[in-house]
């Protein structure tokens, strides 16, 4: 690709504050090294259309169960009453557990077990399952 074309592309897409890369938070995610919105709030590793749907549908009366913890856990914690998340990686579990929101119940499960058995560990009424 010729240099002039790359410069034009840079000006049109990256420097343009109205471009989708800027308005979606994609460039902010690139700068920070984790998926986030324009303010730096964590986002799940999902496409932006799914995130928009979750933003519309999740509410503080819900309880959510997810397999695998991370940025999505913090995202959900801001939107629902309770997040129960199961993590199989001990190092990742310890890292997340040291900085988890108050409404997150993070469970470390050493062995992989069935989904039904894992949900049963929660003892909470689960409204939504995320994987």
pLDDT for residue 15 is more than 80: no
Q: What percent of the chain has pLDDT over 90?
A: 53
**Residue 106, H or E segment:** strand 104-108
pLDDT score for 130: 59
Looking at residue 127, the DSSP 8-state letter turns out to be -
pTM higher than 0.85, yes or no? Answer: no
Distance of alpha carbon 34 from alpha carbon 18, whole angstroms: 21
Regarding whether 27 and 79 lie in a shared domain, the answer is no
User: Has residue 62 been placed in a domain?
Assistant: yes
Burial of 26 per CB tally in 10 Å (0-12, 13-18, 19+): middle
Residue 25: both structure tokens together: 């938070």
Query: Higher pLDDT residue, 95 or 20?
Result: 95
The domain tally of the chain equals 2
**Has residue 40 been placed in a domain?**
no
| pLDDT tens for each residue of 69-113 | 999 999 999 999 999 998 989 999 999 999 999 999 998 988 766
Q: How many residues does the chain have?
A: 131
Please give the Cα distance from 42 to 33 (Å, whole number): 11
Q: Which domain holds residue 126?
A: 48-130
Looking at residue 131, its pLDDT comes to 54
Helices marked H in 33-114: 48-57, 71-77, 90-97
């Amino acid at each position: 690709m010729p240099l002039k074309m790359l410069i034009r592309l840079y000006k049109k897409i990256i420097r343009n504050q109205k471009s989708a890369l800027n308005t979606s938070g994609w460039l902010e995610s690139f700068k920070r090294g984790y998926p986030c919105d324009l303010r730096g709030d964590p986002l799940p590793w999902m496409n932006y259309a799914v995130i928009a749907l979750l933003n519309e549908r999740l509410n503080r009366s819900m309880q959510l169960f997810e397999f695998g913890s991370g940025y999505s856990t913090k995202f959900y914690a801001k939107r629902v009453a309770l997040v129960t998340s199961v993590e199989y990686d001990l190092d990742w579990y310890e890292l997340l557990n040291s900085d988890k929101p108050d409404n997150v119940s993070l469970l470390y499960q050493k062995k992989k077990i069935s989904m039904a058995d894992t949900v049963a560990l929660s003892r909470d009424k689960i409204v939504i399952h995320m994987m």
